[in-house]
Each structure stands twice: as structure tokens, then as C-alpha cells.
Amino acid sequence: MSMLQIRNLNKSYGNVKVLKDISLSVEKGDVAAILGPSGSGKTTLLRCMNFLEKADSGSMVFDGTEYDLGHIKKNQIAQIRKKTAFVFQNYNLFANKTALGNVTLGLTSARKMPKEEAREKGLVLLDKVGLKDLAGSFPVQLSGGQQQRVAIARALATDPEIIYFDEPTSALDPELIGEVLEVMKALAKEGMTMLVVTHEMNFAEHVSNKIIFMSDGIILEENSSREFFEHPREERTREFIRRIRRDS
């Protein structure tokens, strides 16, 4: 059974339908890339899945429990968020906390983990993203790439079952993209389940095993990564791939 399923998710802003009957499923260990043109609803979908936006209707099955997205309760949101993490396009680090403080805050405040234990875990995670030496730096003192790696360490801190990434490299200078992608690749190799909105075709083609292609608020094609790039089913998908191949 899938680890995470979304069924018939709908979301409108005013009378503009932004997501139309979205259904998808993610298996444990999947690295699923969400692709699609700007404005197709990728960010909105991720935000609805982590309740930063409220979906109008639809359901979610997470670890065998079904939730009604249109009438979700606070304690259900808390329950789901315990198993998920989110990495934002613009990092959203806590400006008043050091790199280490950013990683540990969720542990010490939300999960009541003892400070010393959290600190040790935080340092292990910062080491994992190559930033142990900068544990005491504040976000303003870090480059974009370093900030995003801290954000990934923060996402890992709460031992999520799945991490959502919303264009994690789009705000970065080109020379800093690589270091973040490396960290994500390493996570993928370890078997972390990831749902990644990205414009990095290289990542989509070679790291992710599954592609979800969105256009105008619907999922146009959901396919294995190889099939998607080699034998796309939809005409629009083919066009999209031709275009990015031409651009790169």
C-alpha cells in the first residue's frame, strides 16, 4: 500500500480553480519530482499537503489513515506534520537562531527533547550537510546554499517519513545549486522519501524515480522517470521535454 495518497484534491482562490481533482500516490523510498510550467499549481499542491493552505476538498491517506482534507482537524494536522518536513524555496530559517538553533528548535520546543540530546543530534545533521563548522553562525552570515543546507538539516531533525521540497534551488546563484543538489542526492540514496518541485531537469531525470507533470491545475502525466523522459505519454509532455532539451 502507498505510504501517501492524495485523492481528488481541489483548491480555489476566489473563483479561480488552482488545483482540480488532483490524485497522486507516493511509495516509501520514492523520489518524486513535480514538474510543470509556472502557475500550474505545484507550490499550492505542496502547501495544501502540509496544511500551509487549506484544500477545499479531497482526502489524504497517510500510513493507512484517511483524512478528509476539506474538514481536517487541528490535531490531525499535528499528527501528519509529525511525519513530514518542508524545505522552502527561500529557506525561511529562523533569523534569530544559529544554524544549530535552527535545526534543534523543533526538537526542544515541539518535541520536548532535552537540550543536550538535541544539540548532539543537530551537530550530526549539520555534519551530514557539511556545515558542522558553521553551527554557530546566524543565517545572515551564511550563503544561500549554506542556508538551504541548514534548512535541509532542520527538515531532517524531526525524522520525517517524507520531505517536501518547493524549488529548493531556485533562489540560489548558479554556482551554489550544486552543493544543495548533492545533499538531496545523498538523501535519495539513503532511501528518504521525497516530493520535490523542481526545475532541475538533471535531478528529475537522474535522481528521481517518478515524475508528476502538472499543467493548469491538473496532473497531466504521472510516470516513472525513465518512461517520462523516454516515452512520454502526453503530447503536452513531449512538447515540455522538447522545450527544456532545447533550452539546456
Partner 1 sequence: MTERIWGILTEGFGKILLASIQVTIPLTIIGISLAMIIAMIMAMIQYAKIPILSQIARLYIWIFRGTPLLVQLFLAYYGLPKVGIVMDAFPCAIMVFALNEGAYCSETMRSAFEAVPPGQLEAGYCVGMSYFQIMWHVVIPQALRTAFPPLSNSLISMLKDTSLVAEITVADMFMAAQKIVGRTYEPMWLYAEVALVYLMFSTILTLLQRRVEKRLSKYTMKNAAVQEALPGEAAR
Considering CB under 8 A, how many residues would be counted as binding partner 1?
41
| Nearest C-alpha neighbor of 148 from the set 196, 114, 79 | 196
- Residue pair 43/166 in contact by the 8 Å Cβ criterion: yes
- 98 belongs to the binding site for Mg ion (CB under 5 A): no
Decide whether 5 or 90 has the Cβ nearer to ligand ATP. Answer: 90
3-state DSSP call for residue 182?
helix
Residue in 39, 70, 178, 191 binding ligand ATP, rule: CB under 6 A? 39
Query: Alpha-carbon Rg of the chain, whole angstroms?
Result: 18
Q: Give every CB contact of residue 61 below 8 A, 6+ residues apart in sequence.
A: 2, 4, 5, 7, 67
Alpha-carbon distance of 101 to 36, in angstroms, equals 35
Binding flags for partner 1, 118-157, as an x/- string (CB under 8 A): -x---x--x-----xx-xxxxxxx---------x--xx-x
CB 179 to ligand ATP: min, Å? 22
Residue in 41, 58, 101, 168 binding ligand ATP, rule: CB under 6 A? 41
> Which of Mg ion, ligand ATP, partner 1, none does residue 39 bind (CB under 5 to 8 Å by kind)?
ligand ATP
Residue in 3, 26, 32, 44 binding ligand ATP, rule: CB under 6 A? 44
| Nearest C-alpha neighbor of 152 from the set 203, 200, 186 | 186
| Nearest C-alpha neighbor of 18 from the set 229, 225, 226, 214 | 214
As given in the structure block, the three cell numbers for residue 50 are 502540509
CB 39 to ligand ATP: min, Å? 4
Alpha-carbon distance of 121 to 112, in angstroms, equals 14
CB 237 to ligand ATP: min, Å? 16
> Which of Mg ion, ligand ATP, partner 1, none does residue 38 bind (CB under 5 to 8 Å by kind)?
ligand ATP
Alpha-carbon distance of 120 to 127, in angstroms, equals 11
Helix ranges, the chain (H): 42-49, 74-81, 99-105, 115-128, 144-157, 174-190, 201-206, 225-230, 235-247
| Nearest C-alpha neighbor of 18 from the set 227, 247, 217, 243 | 217
Applying CB under 6 A, the span of 42-50, 104-112, 152-160, 174-182 interacting with ligand ATP comes to 42-50
CB 94 to partner 1: min, Å? 5
- 15 belongs to the binding site for ligand ATP (CB under 6 A): no
- 43 belongs to the binding site for ligand ATP (CB under 6 A): yes
Length of the chain: 248
Residue in 90, 199, 218, 236 binding partner 1, rule: CB under 8 A? 90
Residues near partner 1, by CB under 8 A: 50-52, 78, 81-82, 84-86, 88, 90, 92-98, 100, 105-106, 109-111, 119, 123, 126, 132-133, 135-141, 151, 154-155, 157-158
Residues near ligand ATP, by CB under 6 A: 13, 18, 36, 38-44
